[in-house]
Amino acid sequence: MKTQRELHDTLDFIATYASYLLGSGVHTSRVFRNSQRLGASQGIDIQLSSSLKNIILTARDTEGGEALTRVVGIPALPISFERNSDLSALSWDAVDEKLSLDEIRQRFDRLIDKPRMDPIFVLLTVGLANASFCGLFGGDLTASAIVFTATLVGFAAKQRMQAHGLNHYLIVIAAAFIASLCASAALRFDCTAQIALATSPLFLVPGVPLINGVIDIVEGHVLVGVSRLINALLLIVCIAIGLGATLLMVKDSLL
Amino acid sequence: METFWNTIAAYNAATWPAQLLLTLLGIMLVVLLYRHPTAGVRLAMKLFMALLNFWIAGVYYLIYCEPREYHGMLALFWAVMGTLWIYDLAVGHASLHRTSRRNGFALLLFAMPLIYPLVSLALGRTFPEMTSPVMPCSVAVFTIGVMLAFSERVNIVLAMFLCHWALIGLSKVYLFGIPEDYLLACSVVPALYLFFREYIDQHRSQVTKPSTRVLNTLLLVLCLLIGAFFTVTLLHQFDLYSETI
């Protein structure tokens, strides 16, 4: 049987754990499974309910029957598949190695403190990835080169605006506008300019929320799934506004 | 191509006194920033940079380049860069605190706007149908010089804009036969490497992936690839000339 203190500590830790998973781009059912597995390793039954911004957890001592509930906010963290994988593995380790809560917490802290990707490295690789998209969609070498530098400009602007804490939707509109404006330079050349223009804001497409939204709906978490899809749809509308503004300004017949 | 040179001729013929004034003002501010880098001089330089960018957007592209296609898009591009300088001023970004490094390369870049017309003259052009100190590429090279010489913290967005402009500028070598624009392309590659390396050095204390050494190597490889691309283009350009001759 758990003391009140132990139940509090375990629930607080699992609440932090679940919020980190959801903030890092994990779909809902995986978060539920991992958190429940972690709770089971400590002899506690965990039940969860999630929305887009918050998560509600109830922990019940399986022996004593005492229950506690927490509501925690989901932090806006960068998407990290490595962190998702590490945290999922931690829940399995807790079961397999019968870890104590202190040991789990120490491992959790070590995983969270792992070095982040360097922003300059991310900038360059996103540029290369977007240029490759242009190539995949049939763009020629000139168009791909222009998309590469246009993405560098758009993504650097996005990073700076995020650092200054601007509204997320405004950031996406501005970044899409800047990237497509730079890519519109392709119109002056004898190249596949339309493909360059269309692929320049692709780095802004919210792929993870779209995939997670679909997975959530399929797995029965319809409310949170629809919320994620609406959120992703709004971001896509923002991209369209940014791209549309460029098209209206540089070549009105294109829109 | 004829439209291109006609617009440049009209711009130079009508604005040479203003260009002369802007050039003198630029020289004065650079000297002041080297000798007396006070807060007032930094403020004046940022305002001057914004003015230069808005000048290129408004006077050069919107007024004199009106006959050219997509002049509005290019005007907007320069207006965004001008706005970045104003934003830089508003948020108090430490972008013009003297670092006293790379002065040799920076001085060469400062001289570029004056070298541009000389190269034009050497290529047999005559006034007003020639490049001048207050034209997009000259201003871009000057901006890179300012950032290299005086930036404590490089404005990466502005650096990326200039990198993009250098790529566009390279096209003019083919489209309009202006080999002078190689000067911008050649300045951008080492400048880009220095900007990024400085940024990496500034964030050395933060533990990130990949390591600083790997990042520096990747950067070097990327800049060498871009440099190789420019060199191939240059050699191809020589081939084009020899075919013409």
Amino acid at A169: Y
Same-domain check for residues A139 and A83: no
Paired with A47 in beta bridges are A58
Contact B161 A118 (CB under 8 A): no
Average pLDDT over residues A114-139: 92
pLDDT of residue A119: 87
3-state SS assignment for residue B129: coil
Same-domain check for residues A72 and A20: yes
Tokens of A236: 């896509």
Among A112, A143, A177, give the residue marking a domain's end: A112
Amino acid at B148: L
On average, the pLDDT of chain A sits at: 92
| CB-based contact, A141 to chain B, within 8 Å | no
Same-domain check for residues A48 and A67: yes
Cβ-based contacts of A174 with chain B (< 8 Å): none
Contact B200 A120 (CB under 8 A): yes
3-state SS assignment for residue B202: helix
B224 CA to chain A: closest CA distance, Å? 15
Which residue among B73, B91, B207 places its CB closest to the CB of A181?
B73
Paired with A116 in beta bridges are B208
Checking if the pLDDT of A255 tops 60, the result is no
Same-domain check for residues A138 and A203: yes
3-state secondary structure string across A57-96: EEEEECCCCCEEEEEEECCCCCCCHHHHHHHHHHHHHHHH
Cβ-based contacts of B161 with chain A (< 8 Å): 153, 182
Checking if the pLDDT of A20 tops 90, the result is yes
Contact B209 A156 (CB under 8 A): no
What span, in angstroms and rounded, lies between the C-alpha atoms of A217 and A236?
19
Tokens of A86: 């590490």
Question: For residue A199, how many C-alpha atoms fall within 13 Å in the half-sphere facing its CB?
Answer: 28
Same-domain check for residues A205 and A226: yes
Q: How many domains, chain A?
A: 2
Nearest to A56 by CA among A35, A38, A79: A35
Q: DSSP letters of B18-79?
A: HHHHHHHHHHHHHHHHHH---HHHHHHHHHHHHHHHHHIIIIIIIIITTTSTTHHHHHHHHH
Tokens of A56: 């509600």
Q: State CA A184 to chain mean position distance.
A: 29
Checking if the pLDDT of A2 tops 90, the result is no
Same-domain check for residues A146 and A245: yes
What span, in angstroms and rounded, lies between the C-alpha atoms of A49 and A39?
15
What does each of the 245 residues of chain B score in pLDDT, given as a tens digit?
678 888 999 999 999 999 999 999 999 999 998 888 888 998 999 999 999 999 999 999 999 998 888 888 889 899 999 999 998 888 877 667 766 666 788 888 888 888 888 888 888 888 888 889 999 988 998 998 888 888 777 788 888 898 888 877 776 666 666 677 777 777 778 887 888 877 777 777 777 888 888 888 888 888 888 778 777 766 766 665 555 44
Cβ-based contacts of A146 with chain B (< 8 Å): 164, 167-168
| CB-based contact, B236 to chain A, within 8 Å | no
pLDDT of residue A251: 64
Same-domain check for residues A80 and A129: no
pLDDT of residue B245: 47
Same-domain check for residues A106 and A123: no
Amino acid at B99: T
B80 CA to chain A: closest CA distance, Å? 9
The interface predicted TM-score (ipTM) is 0.85
B239 CA to chain A: closest CA distance, Å? 20
Interface test with A, best of B1, B4, B68, B157 (most A CBs within 10 A): B157
A52 CA to chain B: closest CA distance, Å? 29
Percentage of residues in chain A having pLDDT higher than 90 = 77
Same-domain check for residues A134 and A190: yes
Contact B203 A121 (CB under 8 A): no
Percentage of residues in chain A having pLDDT higher than 70 = 98
- Is the separation of the CB atoms in A149 and B163 below 8 Å? yes
pLDDT of residue A26: 93
Domain that holds residue A126: 119-254
| Residues in chain B, total | 245
Residue B222 CA: distances (Å) to CA of A103, B198, B229: 43, 16, 11
Nearest to A7 by CA among A88, A63, A80: A63
Domain that holds residue B15: 2-244
What span, in angstroms and rounded, lies between the C-alpha atoms of B65 and B233?
27
Contact B199 A182 (CB under 8 A): no
Tokens of A244: 């549309």
3-state SS assignment for residue A206: coil
Tally: H helices and E strands in chain A: 10, 4
Contact A185 B168 (CB under 8 A): yes
Same-domain check for residues A35 and A152: no
Phi, psi of B101 (to 5 degrees): -120, 155
Contact B77 A182 (CB under 8 A): yes
Same-domain check for residues A250 and A124: yes
Cβ-based contacts of A252 with chain B (< 8 Å): none
Contact A185 B76 (CB under 8 A): no
Average pLDDT over residues A232-255: 86
What span, in angstroms and rounded, lies between the C-alpha atoms of B163 and A152?
9
How big is chain A by its Cα radius of gyration, in Å?
A: 22
Contact B164 A149 (CB under 8 A): yes
For B130: left if phi > 0, alpha if psi spans -120 to 50, otherwise beta; the answer is beta
Among A112, A134, A158, give the residue marking a domain's end: A112
Q: State CA A102 to chain mean position distance.
A: 28
pLDDT of residue A183: 93
What span, in angstroms and rounded, lies between the C-alpha atoms of A84 and A212?
13
Among A69, A88, A112, give the residue marking a domain's end: A112
Nearest to A221 by CA among A41, A20, A26: A26
Q: How many domains, chain B?
A: 1
| CB-based contact, A110 to chain B, within 8 Å | no
pLDDT of residue A254: 57
Average pLDDT over residues A57-74: 91
